[in-house]
Structure 1
């Protein structure tokens, strides 16, 4: 039976990579588990005489370590044979590791004991020092292997980058379509190799900030590959067109910068020895400031007043980005300036109380100091909230205003008509839109809350800054050559990139709000899978097969849309005063199920392959039918005038849930059929979530109407009690919390979609 799942997004233990292998070597995990067992064994309270049961456990640990080391070393030796420049070092490190593993196995071997004591206990493992030495040698040699393997991976990425750059230079100089097609084919293969290598590297990065930077760079390369194709074709078709040349050069320049960014990340270096810029986020400054202020409770002397004053000055200096912005509303600007002045006064008062407390630690003085600390922290928190509201309100309004993409549509029409005057007019409007979006990204960066989100804001800002002028040059080219199909295709590609970035910005805004409101990482993930051993036990051996670009994009887009709907449902659920309401609880459970399906499209979460996804879809369909039943019961308690709108939505739920149930249960074979089934399941799930997002606010309003006395339930007690009892009697619909997830760029996950098909 076939199954599919995107590659996972995290590595839980150290890993090494074969030169031509995409995934981490699995034996490393069991090796490190064995090392932990040896560490426990060494640190355990020493007893000269041990029971036979304890002795057998010791021997099993020693054997497990040796076996894990053998597998690990085999991989290392393979790498050594394929990389001559490091073969000697790698082989020596592997030899040391193998010798250490064998030593540990010998020192814990039960067969070396010939004469047990009269009481049945055996005296062994007396050479604890020998085991410690062997364990140290093992760790040292394994570390060497990992370091050498890492050097090889870095070298591979650099080599791959150099190939891409060399081919890009050839692409820039081609003068015929035939030559371009040949070189671009080579370029495509090299970019695929580079994407695989950097994708693996991104998974292995421990720093979330570096992961976000890598994801941003890879997203640029992915999008620019298509831009490079159409921009180059346009330039070849219209070689004397200056705007086409400018358009193409912009793409090549951006790709080169992205390639260099990747190398900086994997080599942990900066160009020309520059130091990495410190984050300018106001949030980080406020966090440090509050920490220092609150630290005065414990130690009055660990900080000087100059330090606090300087920290506040830096924060207030950054708020000038908001107050000086032409796009910040007058109301927000006035409130920010007011809070700035208040923060200065509160700090002055705090410093005064602080000085008094240092001179005399009386009860009254310490109470005054505590009050000053609280007021200062409260003021700076209010400033933080006001800045957040200013940035997110601006972003929300802009995204809503530009959601129809009217300027892009007008540019396409004007270009196709050859109307240069109209193109110039709409180019000015797009330029203004670009400035608004760039400024908004800068403000969002201040309130992003985490370093990865800050990186994403910078990436969005750069994308708008670069893509805007490229759209303008592409539109001008089309206006000069209105009958050119290639010029039209080129403009379409750049406009799609703009629209895609607006969509990504919408997701970014939601993530920033989640962090600010403390919701990030609290999303419950529904576990619908049976216990281990009862599911997928008879699956055939699976092999990975790459999805094509269109399939990758479709699944990733569907996953993103599903994520947005779960956020909408969660937001509507939070508006209910009664969080124990059955409809709210079941809605949250259904949302949680949909969320696990979204995580599947990212290569994360509890669903391992398509079989898990289909099982989840079946359970989700059952929950959809149950939701319909709950809504019907709810509607039965309403007055007749309040029912029609609600019943209209309820009637859509049953057929959708039944269709999803049938689809999830229908067996299919082959890559295409399975992909179609995955697509259909997520589409149906999305449709049900859409209905739920519309039904919840309707029900909430009707409930408020009843409480206000403008409507009523006919029999609320029995309805509520009966439904609660029904829920209590059903098993497996309550959801299950999991660890926080990290949001990363969508394009990274599109690159990593992998199809698993039976051999």
Structure 2
């Protein structure tokens, strides 16, 4: 590994549960300290000082361990020393600030909040660097296994082979232990599924490696025995390449050139290129087009539809798709293409208008494309279901053929074996078609990954049963060749069982209940929508709260910083009138964000995931209103650096608003997917809050410097629950939140 610096930490995510759990106690302490410090009279100054001192002592102990790791591992030494130094400085600053608190006076909250954010960032960096050490140990274990594989491949006699295989076995046990721990620690379901697939290949291939190698050593002139052995070696190396790829994902300064291109391509093909993923992308773009029109709209929507239609060819080109399903898919494809062409033509005609207000037909055109997409999805799912229903017959036929081939090989019947082999190839092809189509309609990334790797393993190892049978025919008296055939037959039985399981899982989550898969928009801004069926009230459990605690605290720190800034400006500037829209809306957004922070702790008025999603929608609406008010104010600001800075920050707001809206509207099914949506909504709210905080601060600076007056031309207020449990400015409140209609599938956590 290359030496690790600190420049790239801002773009990293925490990808393991262990780091989350290590951060949690510190997050709770900082959160409690900031909340206490923000409330006058909440605790005596001596108590606040003790909390600050305890935080600093805990930080000092923590970074001492980090420095010890830095002493032992040169790869992370420089970055670890810098992170530990910053953590110590932040801890000392927090202790100093707490010591300066007077009993009835709130000192500068902004200073404390910034110190807390710095501390959280530094501690996170220490943990990420420590994780690099764990990754290095795992990769060293993987490299040892690879070297043992190379040695096994090169031995020429049984004595050397037995010795090398014994060493290989002990190293495989160590690798299995480390990769198992890593798999359980990973947060991302896609990476967990990839790690599980790689570990399964290594585990199942070990016995095939043993028998195929022994057969090759016993019959070195046999091309079929060597083909069996070489195939196993190849698959095991690919599995280790995948392990390498997964464990280095997200680690600083990953040597991308060291990751095999096949694994990068597979990663993209497996999760990013399914029909389900492409359809979601198209739907998101259509939703975006409701509020945004730009010159790239034509190209992006056309490209998204092309990606969808390209993948429908896997359904229409399949020899096992019925004529009725094929024709229905083709008809739906023509319909959605026609509806989109009509929509794009409408866009071209209204580019001169500001928004969609000049063309009432726009909304109905977008709905028509979405309805066509829904109908296409339904027909594709129906085609996949039809093939899945035929699978038991196909797998039974394949198992019967395997039994026949084994018997024909033992009886030395090469002609019969050839006939059975041809039928067996057809059976495998049919099963592969089912795997491919189910992968396209699978609703979760873990199912997509599993379906893809089952397909790959069946494509590679299925025909090897025939190859092993041919070796037995060539050496009818060879016990080791017969044992090798039995092992490859067992592998095929495992793969058939995997196919049956994945079919059941995909059907349960995607196709069996198609009516619950309807893509639904949240209520349009300013309107109140309801679903036809009341959503299940779902709360986060303590483990789920712990997972999003860091994001929640970061959002809390952002709200505290903006509250401190607005309070400061109100105290120091005489022109902060009561009806100032900028101050009012900024405080309203801060209040809504705080209620969402409380949700991450299991507190406050937001009780269920539905409450959170609806509150996030209102938060985005209020951000749009604030954007318009500040845009009007910016016209008063004279040209110069201040105005340039204000506009730079302000121009980022619509993008972050759209990202939050997309996260809220994201269609999910099941507990894991819904929690991922909760996490994404919290993250996007935090990001939008940070941008708004910068905009408001810059706005007030401009007002003070140029002595500008704030206009309050935009009426109306956002809806939401404030930190005190009452509806913040406006008529919204919990009644609105619990009545809002979000995505109908987000029902279970």
TM bucket, shorter chain? 0.5 to 0.7
Map 1:88-99; keep pairs closer than 5 Å.
Answer: 90=80, 93-94=83-84, 97=87
**Which of 24, 28, 34 is 2:29 aligned to?**
34
**Which of 204, 207, 217 is 2:198 aligned to?**
217
Counterpart CA distance in 2 for 1:507 and 1:237 is 37
1:245 aligns with 2:240: no
1:455 corresponding residue in structure 2: 449
- SS at structure 2 position matched to 1:122: coil
* Distance of aligned partners of 1:14 and 1:340 in 2 relative to their CA distance in 1, 3 Å threshold: closer
1:208 corresponding residue in structure 2: 189
Structure 1 contact 27–72 (Cα < 8 Å) conserved: no
* Distance of aligned partners of 1:16 and 1:364 in 2 relative to their CA distance in 1, 3 Å threshold: closer
1:280 corresponding residue in structure 2: 273
Counterpart CA distance in 1 for 2:116 and 2:212 is 58
Counterpart CA distance in 2 for 1:69 and 1:362 is 52
1:192 corresponding residue in structure 2: 173
* Distance of aligned partners of 1:68 and 1:434 in 2 relative to their CA distance in 1, 3 Å threshold: farther
Structure 1 contact 28–72 (Cα < 8 Å) conserved: no
**Which of 79, 99, 108 is 2:69 aligned to?**
79
1:444 corresponding residue in structure 2: 438
Structure 1 contact 247–474 (Cα < 8 Å) conserved: yes
1:69 corresponding residue in structure 2: 59
Counterpart CA distance in 2 for 1:37 and 1:243 is 68
Counterpart CA distance in 1 for 2:322 and 2:123 is 59
Structure 1 contact 30–68 (Cα < 8 Å) conserved: no
Map 1:237-316; keep pairs closer than 5 Å.
Answer: 237-268=218-249, 269=256, 271=259, 277=268, 279-299=272-292, 304-316=297-309
Deviation at 1:361, TM superposition (A): 11
Counterpart CA distance in 2 for 1:513 and 1:739 is 13
* Distance of aligned partners of 1:419 and 1:518 in 2 relative to their CA distance in 1, 3 Å threshold: closer
Counterpart CA distance in 2 for 1:363 and 1:132 is 42
* Distance of aligned partners of 1:172 and 1:310 in 2 relative to their CA distance in 1, 3 Å threshold: closer
2:687 corresponding residue in structure 1: none
- SS at structure 1 position matched to 2:396: coil
- SS at structure 1 position matched to 2:671: coil
Counterpart CA distance in 2 for 1:106 and 1:401 is 73
Structure 2 contact 385–511 (Cα < 8 Å) conserved: no
Structure 1 contact 244–473 (Cα < 8 Å) conserved: yes
Deviation at 1:264, TM superposition (A): 2.1
- SS at structure 2 position matched to 1:327: coil
- SS at structure 1 position matched to 2:443: coil
* Distance of aligned partners of 1:192 and 1:59 in 2 relative to their CA distance in 1, 3 Å threshold: farther
* Distance of aligned partners of 1:373 and 1:98 in 2 relative to their CA distance in 1, 3 Å threshold: closer
Deviation at 1:406, TM superposition (A): 0.7
Structure 1 contact 37–61 (Cα < 8 Å) conserved: no
Counterpart CA distance in 1 for 2:123 and 2:383 is 52
2:539 corresponding residue in structure 1: none
Map 1:680-699; keep pairs closer than 5 Å.
Answer: none
- SS at structure 1 position matched to 2:496: helix
2:471 corresponding residue in structure 1: 477
Q: 5+ unaligned residues in a row in structure 2: which ranges?
A: 1-12, 250-255, 517-532, 534-542, 545-668, 675-749
Structure 1 contact 202–211 (Cα < 8 Å) conserved: yes
Counterpart CA distance in 2 for 1:518 and 1:437 is 20
Map 1:140-159; keep pairs closer than 5 Å.
Answer: 140-159=121-140
Map 1:536-547; keep pairs closer than 5 Å.
Answer: none
Per-residue CA distance 1:491-525 (angstroms, 9 max, x = gap): 222222222222222222233233435979x9xxx
2:421 corresponding residue in structure 1: 427
1:740 corresponding residue in structure 2: 671
* Distance of aligned partners of 1:486 and 1:59 in 2 relative to their CA distance in 1, 3 Å threshold: farther
* Distance of aligned partners of 1:370 and 1:96 in 2 relative to their CA distance in 1, 3 Å threshold: closer
* Distance of aligned partners of 1:257 and 1:78 in 2 relative to their CA distance in 1, 3 Å threshold: same
Per-residue CA distance 1:315-370 (angstroms, 9 max, x = gap): 22322222222221222112212222222333344445556666899999956544
Structure 1 contact 399–502 (Cα < 8 Å) conserved: no
- SS at structure 2 position matched to 1:319: helix
Counterpart CA distance in 2 for 1:182 and 1:143 is 45
Deviation at 1:445, TM superposition (A): 2.5
* Distance of aligned partners of 1:481 and 1:345 in 2 relative to their CA distance in 1, 3 Å threshold: same
Deviation at 1:90, TM superposition (A): 4.0
Count of residues in Structure 1 that have an aligned counterpart in Structure 2 = 500
Counterpart CA distance in 2 for 1:421 and 1:252 is 30
* Distance of aligned partners of 1:282 and 1:229 in 2 relative to their CA distance in 1, 3 Å threshold: same
**Which of 484, 506, 513 is 1:512 aligned to?**
506
1:161 aligns with 2:142: yes
Deviation at 1:186, TM superposition (A): 1.3
Deviation at 1:225, TM superposition (A): 1.8
Per-residue CA distance 1:512-561 (angstroms, 9 max, x = gap): 233435979x9xxxxxxxxxxxxxxxxxxxxxxxxxxxxxxxxxxxxxxx
TM-score w.r.t. length of structure 2 = 0.59
Structure 1 contact 27–71 (Cα < 8 Å) conserved: no
1:467 aligns with 2:457: no
Structure 2 contact 289–297 (Cα < 8 Å) conserved: no
- SS at structure 1 position matched to 2:390: helix
Counterpart CA distance in 2 for 1:367 and 1:140 is 48
Map 1:629-708; keep pairs closer than 5 Å.
Answer: none
Counterpart CA distance in 2 for 1:90 and 1:418 is 66
Structure 1 contact 16–149 (Cα < 8 Å) conserved: no
- SS at structure 2 position matched to 1:504: helix
1:489 corresponding residue in structure 2: 483
Q: 5+ unaligned residues in a row in structure 1: which ranges?
A: 1-12, 18-22, 114-120, 523-578, 580-603, 606-737, 744-759
Per-residue CA distance 1:170-189 (angstroms, 9 max, x = gap): 11122333322222121122
Deviation at 1:392, TM superposition (A): 2.8
TM-score w.r.t. length of structure 1 = 0.58
**Which of 206, 227, 232 is 2:213 aligned to?**
232
Counterpart CA distance in 1 for 2:348 and 2:73 is 66
**RMSD, aligned CA:** 4.0
* Distance of aligned partners of 1:484 and 1:396 in 2 relative to their CA distance in 1, 3 Å threshold: farther
**Higher relative contact order (Cα pairs below 8 Å, separated by 6+ residues):** 1
Counterpart CA distance in 1 for 2:68 and 2:486 is 47
Map 1:255-404; keep pairs closer than 5 Å.
Answer: 255-268=236-249, 269=256, 271=259, 277=268, 279-299=272-292, 304-351=297-344, 368-403=361-396
Structure 1 contact 31–72 (Cα < 8 Å) conserved: no
Counterpart CA distance in 2 for 1:447 and 1:299 is 29
Structure 2 contact 444–673 (Cα < 8 Å) conserved: no
Structure 2 contact 442–506 (Cα < 8 Å) conserved: yes
Counterpart CA distance in 1 for 2:379 and 2:59 is 56
Counterpart CA distance in 1 for 2:292 and 2:486 is 62
- SS at structure 2 position matched to 1:457: helix
Counterpart CA distance in 1 for 2:303 and 2:103 is 68
Structure 2 contact 16–186 (Cα < 8 Å) conserved: no
Map 1:172-191; keep pairs closer than 5 Å.
Answer: 172-191=153-172
* Distance of aligned partners of 1:131 and 1:236 in 2 relative to their CA distance in 1, 3 Å threshold: same
Counterpart CA distance in 1 for 2:213 and 2:287 is 59
